[in-house]
Structure 1
Amino acid sequence: MGHQISRRTLFRTASGLAVAGALGGSLSACGGGTGAGSTSSKLTMTWWGSDDRHNAYKKALATFQKSNSKIKIEERYSGYDGYFDRFNTNVAGGSAPDLLQMDTALVAQYARKGVLAPIDEYVGKSLDLTGFSKTLLAAGTVDGKLYGVPSGIGVNILTVNVTGLKKLGLELPDREWTWADLKKVAVEVNKKSGGKQFGVDDGGGGTLQAFEVFAREKGQTFFATDGKKLGFTADTLQEWWEFWAEMRKDKASPPAAITSAAHNDLTKNGVVIGKTLFTFDSGVYGAGGAITDAVLDFLPTPKGDWSGAREGNFVNGGVLLSATKASKHIADSVKIMSFFAQDATAIKDMQLLRGIPPTEKARSLIAAGLSDTDKKSMDIADYISKRVAKATDALAAPQPPPNGADQIWDLLFQSNLAIAFGKKTVKAQLTAFFDQAGSILSQ
Structure 2
Amino acid sequence: MGHQISRRTLFRTASGLAVAGALGPALTACAGGTGAGTTSDKLTMTWWGSDERHAAYKKALAYFQQKNPKTKIQETYSGYDGYFNKFNTQIAGGSTPDLLQMDTALVAQYARKGVLAPLDEYVGKSLDLTGFSRTLLAAGTVDGKLYGVPSGIGTNQLTVNRSGLQKLGLKFPDAEWTWADLRKIALDVHKKSGGKLFGVDDGGGGTLNAFEIFAREHGQNLFSDDGKKLGFTPDTLQAWWEYWAEMRKANASPAAAVTSAAHNDLTKNGVVIGKTLFTFDIGVYGAGGSITGATLDFLPTPQGDWSGAREGNFLNGGVLLSATRSSKRVADSVKIMSFFAQDPTAIKDMQLLRGIPPTEKARGLISAGLDDTDKRDMANADYISQRVAKATNALPAPPPPPAAATQIWDLLFQSNLAIAFGRTTIKAQLGKFFDQAEQILSA
**1:323-372 CA distance string (max 9 Å, x none):** 11111111111110010000000000000000000000000000011000
Deviation at 1:5, TM superposition (A): 2.1
Q: Call closer, same or farther: CA 1:28–1:378 in 2, change over 3 Å.
A: farther
Q: What SS does the corresponding residue of 2:228 show, helix, strand or coil?
A: coil
Task: Determine the structure 1 residue equivalent to 2:115.
Answer: 115
Within 5 Å, which residues of 2 pair with 1:250-399?
A: 250-399=250-399
Once the two structures are aligned, what percentage of the paired residues are identical? 79
Deviates more, 1:19-28 or 1:201-210: 19-28
Q: Would you say the 8 A contact 1:180–1:305 is kept in 2?
A: yes
Deviation at 1:287, TM superposition (A): 3.8
Give, as a single letter, the amino acid of the residue that structure 2 aligns with 1:10.
F
Task: Determine the structure 1 residue equivalent to 2:5.
Answer: 4
**1:102-122 CA distance string (max 9 Å, x none):** 111111111111111111111
Q: What SS does the corresponding residue of 1:349 show, helix, strand or coil?
A: helix
Q: C-alpha distance in 2, partners of 1:93/1:423? A: 50
Deviation at 1:216, TM superposition (A): 0.7
Aligned length: 438
Q: Call closer, same or farther: CA 1:242–1:375 in 2, change over 3 Å.
A: same
> Which segments of 5 or more consecutive residues in structure 1 lack a partner in the other structure?
none
**1:391-419 CA distance string (max 9 Å, x none):** 00000111211231111111111111111
Within 5 Å, which residues of 2 pair with 1:190-269?
A: 190-269=190-269
Within 5 Å, which residues of 2 pair with 1:98-177?
A: 98-177=98-177
Q: Would you say the 8 A contact 2:200–2:276 is kept in 1?
A: yes
Give, as a single letter, the amino acid of the residue that structure 1 aligns with 2:78.
S
Q: C-alpha distance in 2, partners of 1:53/1:150? A: 16
Q: Would you say the 8 A contact 1:38–1:97 is kept in 2?
A: no
Q: C-alpha distance in 2, partners of 1:164/1:6? A: 27
Q: Would you say the 8 A contact 1:201–1:270 is kept in 2?
A: yes
Q: What SS does the corresponding residue of 2:108 show, helix, strand or coil?
A: helix
Give, as a single letter, the amino acid of the residue that structure 1 aligns with 2:214.
F
Q: Would you say the 8 A contact 2:44–2:75 is kept in 1?
A: yes
**1:163-182 CA distance string (max 9 Å, x none):** 11111111101111000000
Q: Would you say the 8 A contact 2:219–2:310 is kept in 1?
A: yes
Q: What SS does the corresponding residue of 1:163 show, helix, strand or coil?
A: helix
Q: C-alpha distance in 2, partners of 1:22/1:174? A: 45
> Which segments of 5 or more consecutive residues in structure 2 lack a partner in the other structure?
none
Q: C-alpha distance in 1, partners of 2:116/2:4? A: 22
Task: Determine the structure 2 residue equivalent to 1:408.
Answer: 408
Q: C-alpha distance in 2, partners of 1:46/1:333? A: 12
Q: Would you say the 8 A contact 1:2–1:378 is kept in 2?
A: no
Q: C-alpha distance in 1, partners of 2:385/2:22? A: 37
Deviation at 1:25, TM superposition (A): 1.5
Q: C-alpha distance in 1, partners of 2:263/2:227? A: 26
Q: Would you say the 8 A contact 2:28–2:89 is kept in 1?
A: no
Deviation at 1:124, TM superposition (A): 0.7
Deviation at 1:29, TM superposition (A): 10
Deviation at 1:389, TM superposition (A): 0.2
Q: Call closer, same or farther: CA 1:163–1:106 in 2, change over 3 Å.
A: same
Q: Does 1:185 align with 2:185?
A: yes
Q: C-alpha distance in 2, partners of 1:320/1:132? A: 13
Give, as a single letter, the amino acid of the residue that structure 2 aligns with 1:80.
Y
Give, as a single letter, the amino acid of the residue that structure 2 aligns with 1:335.
K
Q: What SS does the corresponding residue of 1:191 show, helix, strand or coil?
A: helix
Deviation at 1:38, TM superposition (A): 4.5
Give, as a single letter, the amino acid of the residue that structure 2 aligns with 1:4.
I
- TM, length-normalised to structure 2: 0.96
Q: Call closer, same or farther: CA 1:246–1:15 in 2, change over 3 Å.
A: same
Task: Determine the structure 2 residue equivalent to 1:87.
Answer: 87
Q: What SS does the corresponding residue of 1:320 show, helix, strand or coil?
A: strand
Q: Would you say the 8 A contact 1:37–1:91 is kept in 2?
A: no
Q: What SS does the corresponding residue of 1:25 show, helix, strand or coil?
A: coil
Q: Would you say the 8 A contact 1:6–1:282 is kept in 2?
A: no
Q: C-alpha distance in 1, partners of 2:326/2:406? A: 28
Q: Would you say the 8 A contact 2:24–2:113 is kept in 1?
A: yes
Task: Determine the structure 2 residue equivalent to 1:96.
Answer: 96
**1:43-102 CA distance string (max 9 Å, x none):** 110011111100000000011011111111000011111111111111111111111111
Q: Would you say the 8 A contact 2:97–2:324 is kept in 1?
A: yes
Deviation at 1:264, TM superposition (A): 1.1
Deviation at 1:18, TM superposition (A): 2.0
Q: Would you say the 8 A contact 1:131–1:360 is kept in 2?
A: yes
Q: C-alpha distance in 2, partners of 1:424/1:37? A: 55
Within 5 Å, which residues of 2 pair with 1:14-53?
A: 14-25=14-25, 37-53=37-53
Q: Call closer, same or farther: CA 1:309–1:393 in 2, change over 3 Å.
A: same
Q: Would you say the 8 A contact 1:159–1:297 is kept in 2?
A: yes
Give, as a single letter, the amino acid of the residue that structure 2 aligns with 1:46.
T
Q: Would you say the 8 A contact 2:100–2:323 is kept in 1?
A: yes
Q: C-alpha distance in 2, partners of 1:322/1:264? A: 29
Q: C-alpha distance in 1, partners of 2:29/2:134? A: 31
Q: C-alpha distance in 2, partners of 1:232/1:28? A: 37
CA RMSD of aligned residues (A): 1.6
Task: Determine the structure 1 residue equivalent to 2:67.
Answer: 67
Q: C-alpha distance in 2, partners of 1:147/1:29? A: 25
Give, as a single letter, the amino acid of the residue that structure 1 aligns with 2:328.
K
Q: C-alpha distance in 1, partners of 2:317/2:298? A: 19
**1:405-441 CA distance string (max 9 Å, x none):** 1111111111111111111111111111111111122
Deviation at 1:226, TM superposition (A): 2.1
**1:132-162 CA distance string (max 9 Å, x none):** 1111011111111111000000111111001
Give, as a single letter, the amino acid of the residue that structure 1 aligns with 2:440.
I
Deviation at 1:284, TM superposition (A): 0.8
